[in-house]
Amino acid sequence: MSDKQVELNEHGHELLAWSDDSRHDVDEADHYVLMADAIRDLLIEKGVIKAGDVREQLEFMDSRSEDMGARIVARAWANPDFKERLLANGTEAIKEFDIPMLDAELVVVENTNEFHNMVVCTLCSCYPRTILGMPPDWYKSKTYRSRSVNEPRAVLKEFGTDLADDVAVRVHDSNADMRYLVLPLRPEGTDGWSEPELAKLVSRDSMIGVSPATEPATEPET
C-alpha cells in the first residue's frame, strides 16, 4: 500500500487523503478536465508545445460556427459544379472557403427524396468542428450515440423530423479520421436565391441530419 499522507484537521483528527470520501464527489467531467490540464502542462514543460499554441488553437475553435457550414451548403445548392466537387471530395472542395479539416477527411452526404442521412459518433464526439463549431451537448450524450443507430427514425421524430416510410435512413458513424456533413434538401420556393439568402435557411441541425433545412417564410400579408 502506498504511503499514507497523514494530515490533521482543526480538531486534531487524522485526514487520510486517499480515503477522504469527499474526493469521490468529483464527477467524471472534472476528472477529465484535471487530466487534460495535467497533460497540457507536461507538454509545455517538455517543450513539445508552447502555451501560446494552446491559446491560439482555442481562439481558432472559438471562431468556428455553423455559419461556415451554411455557406458551404448554400453554395452547393446554388452551384451544381461546386456540389459535384463537394460530394466527390469534401476535404478538397472546402479549401475554397479557406476552411481546414485539420487531421480528418470530410465526407459530404446528400439528402434526397429517397435517402435521409444523419450523423453520429457512437464512440465519443467526433464532429466537423472547423465547419460547425463545437458540437451540442445532445450530440455527445450516450442516449443520442446509442439510439441514433438502434432506432434512428424514433430519434428523428423526437427532433420533429417525421420521415415518410419510403425514405431510407442512412446513419453515418464519425471517427477521428472521417467527419460527415449532411447536405440537406434545398427547400422549395427558393429558385434564384443568392448564396447569402440560402445560407439563412441552413441550420446546424440540418447539417447533422436531425432536421430539414428551414422552409422559407411566406410573404407577410399586406
Nearest-angstrom CA–CA distance, 171 and 70: 21
Residue 124 bears catalytic tag: yes
Pick the binder of Fe ion from 124, 154, 167, 168 (CB under 5 A). Answer: 124
Q: Considering only 16-24, 54-62, 91-99, 118-126, which stretch makes contact with Fe ion by CB under 5 A? A: 118-126
Closer residue to Fe ion (CB): 34 or 123: 123
DSSP 60: H
Q: Does 102 interact with Fe ion (rule: CB under 5 A)?
A: no
Q: Indicate the burial class of 58 (C-beta count within 10 angstroms; 0-12, 13-18, 19 or more).
A: exposed
- 126 as an active site residue: the answer is yes
Number of residues that bind Fe ion (CB under 5 A): 4
Which member of 121, 148, 174, 203 is catalytic?
121
121 binds Fe ion (CB under 5 A): yes
Residue that has been written with the C-alpha cell 468542428 in this structure: 129
Q: In the bound complex, what is the minimum distance in angstroms from residue 141's beta carbon to Fe ion? A: 13
Judged by CB under 5 A, the residue of 118, 120, 126, 201 near Fe ion is 126
Q: Identify whether 65 is a catalytic site residue.
A: no
Closer CB to Fe ion, 88 or 123, in the complex: 123
CA atoms within 13 A on the CB side of 83: 16
What single string gives the DSSP state of each residue in 163-216?
Answer: --TTSEEEEEE--SSEEEEEEPPPPTT-TT--HHHHHTT--HHHHHTSSPPPPP
**Nearer Cβ to Fe ion (54/123):** 123
Active-site residue flag, 206: no
Stretch that binds Fe ion, among 10-18, 47-55, 104-112, 123-131 (CB under 5 A): 123-131
* Only segment of 17-25, 51-59, 87-95, 114-122 that touches Fe ion (CB under 5 A): 114-122
User: How many whole angstroms separate alpha carbon 107 and alpha carbon 87?
Assistant: 7
β-sheet bridge partners, residue 105: 178
Kindly tell me which of 35 and 88 has the beta carbon lying closer to Fe ion: 35
In a 10 Å sphere around its CB, with 0-12 CB exposed, 13-18 middle and 19+ buried, how is residue 171 labelled?
middle
Q: Rule CB under 5 A: which residues touch Fe ion?
A: 121, 123-124, 126
Active site residue ranges? 121, 124-126
